[in-house]
Amino acid sequence: MRLLEYQAKSLFGTFSIPVPRGEVVSSLAAATSAARSIGFPLVLKAQLPVGGRGKSGLVKVVRTPSELDTEFTAILGKSVQGLKVEKVLMEPFFAHESEMYVGYTENRSERCFSLVVSPSGGVDVEQVKEKFVGNFGLEGPSEETITNAVKYLNLPSSATEGCKKLIMSLYRIFDNSEAELAEINPLVYSSSGGFMALDAKLIIDDNALFRHPELKPYLPQDVSVEEAEKFGFNFVPLDGDVAVVGNGAGLVLATLDMVSSRGFTAACFLDLGGGASPDRVKAALQLLSTSLPNMKALFVNVFGGITNSVSVAEGFLDVKRSGLLTKPFFLRLSGAGELEARDLLSRNGINSFIDIEPALDALEAWGKS
């Protein structure tokens, strides 16, 4: 889970890391109002979970109300890597004397964690040759490691203790949230204002989220995914046009590949899970019909085992009778209950397949028609 910058800064602030006072806005009217309280000059920063925003023109310093109108309008709604800018963080411009990089990351090649610092901030740290890397284990970075890191930054002696505390605070965030990456880039310093985290990045290990209810407010709010969890199936919306449904993650992934091999792109990954009841199948199909506006067809691949094919057929019939299933669909059922399921579907005017290849052929033929 990649936190947006303003979310990461909110969390950093609770650990006593200094961050600029900012406001998140999503309209020009709100930006104009925020500018009156922040003052000029100020910085506009698009909120997207991607790097390189500055290179994409999504971070701008503005000095006048007219510049604000022009730059804000240019940023809001712009798309980068398929993501649309819907929120902009506004912060006061912070004058500073030096920029640096400070971050903690998982070091998979060395099977440890690493503290990385560099006196060159604001650029991709991978491209920086001048950097200090201190490796450590579960016990956390030693005092010696942090002291050496601060020395490497070549700060004024009056700033070293403050920098040590900041680096330890960043570690507490990294450790407490079970993060894969926690970084400040740039961390800036001025003799008059001290340290300030002008940017913040935090990537949380998804597998650890169940242990961190305090992070729930930072999770993307996707009503459709929450609905899927309530009924006990896994649902991941995608950008394609053919919804892919199956039972078992491996089978669904294999089906995604097979559908892709026929020239289609998946509109979703939907795993019904084991022992799916007619109600769960019905809920899944209803969710597809209401949450995937780009879906043009539905491809279902079920191998009956724990999930009986009859349950899938009954769920299909319930949704079809309700009038919600209006898109073309291609249904392959085999395994437990397959004969009864196909007979049930056939008596209600629904064709199904026992083998995957004929089902894929039918999908491909539909796509060419």
Per-residue pLDDT reduced to its tens digit, 155-184? 999 999 999 999 999 999 999 999 999 999
CATH 3.30.1490.20 residue ranges for the chain: 21-92
Coil, strand, or helix at residue 24? strand
For residues 115 and 149, is the Cβ–Cβ distance under 8 A?
yes
Per DSSP bridges, beta strands 79-80 and 83-84 are antiparallel
What pLDDT band is residue 257 in, cutting at 50, 70 and 90?
very high
CATH 3.40.50.261 residue ranges for the chain: 223-368
pLDDT at 121: 85
Half-sphere exposure of 91 (CA within 13 A, CB side): 20
Instruction: Kindly report, residue by residue over 211-220, the tens digit of the pLDDT.
Output: 988 887 787 6
For residues 26 and 70, is the Cβ–Cβ distance under 8 A?
no
pLDDT at 81: 78
Instruction: Kindly report, residue by residue over 271-311, the tens digit of the pLDDT.
Output: 988 777 788 888 888 888 878 888 999 999 988 887 788 88
CATH 3.30.470.20 residue ranges for the chain: 98-217
pLDDT at 41: 97
Which position has the token pair 């604001």?
Answer: 122
pLDDT higher than 60, residue 361: yes
Query: Which among 282, 265, 291, 192 has a CA at the least distance from the CA of 231?
Result: 282
What pLDDT band is residue 222 in, cutting at 50, 70 and 90?
low
- pLDDT (average), residues 330-355: 90
Give the chain's radius of gyration (CA, Å). 26
Q: Where are the beta strands (DSSP E) in 239-359?
A: 242-246, 266-271, 297-304, 329-335
pLDDT at 316: 84
- Say which residues have a Cβ less than 8 Å from residue 220's Cβ, sequence separation at least 6: none
Classify domain 21-92 by CATH number: 3.30.1490.20
Q: For residue 113, what are the β-bridge partners?
A: 106, 136
- Could you tell me which residue, 290 or 61, shows the higher pLDDT? 61
What's the CATH architecture for 98-217? 2-Layer Sandwich (3.30)
Question: At residue 14, what is the residue type?
Answer: T
pLDDT at 198: 96
- Per CATH, is 223-368 categorized as 3.40.50.2300? no
